[in-house]
Amino acid sequence: MRAIDNILQAIGSTDLIELHRVVPEGSARILLKMEGQNPTGSMKDRMALAMVEAAEKDGRLKPKGTVVEYTGGSTGVSLSLVCAVKGYPLEIVTSDAFSQEKRDHMESLGARLTLIQSDSGGMTGQLTRDMIAAADKIAARPGSFWTDQLNNIAPLACYSTMADEIWEQTGGEISAFVQSVGTGGSLRGVGSRLRNLGSKTRVICVEPTESAVLSGKSPGSHKIEGVGAGFVVPLWSEDVADEIIRVSTEEAMAMARRLARQEGLFAGTSTGANVVASLALAARLGPEATIVSVMCDSGLKYLSTPLYKQTDPA
Q: Which residues are catalytic?
A: 44, 270
Q: At what angle do helices 185-197 and 155-170 cross, to 10 degrees?
A: 50
Query: Is there a contact between 287 and 27 (Cβ–Cβ < 8 Å)?
Result: yes
Q: Are strands 144-146 and 112-116 parallel, antiparallel or unpaired?
A: unpaired
What are the CA-CA distances from residue 11 to residues 80, 101, 111 (Å)? 14, 21, 20
User: What does the DSSP assignment read for 52-101?
Assistant: HHHHHHHTSS-TTPEEEEE-SSHHHHHHHHHHHHHT--EEEEEETTS-HH
Query: Beta-strand (E) ranges in 160-280?
Result: 176-180, 202-208, 243-247
Q: Is the torsion defined by CA of 164, 165, 169, 170 positive or negative?
A: negative
> CB count, 10 Å around CB of 133?
12
Torsion of CA 81, 105, 36, 250, to 10 degrees: -140
| 176 closest CA partner among 205, 200, 201, 193 | 201
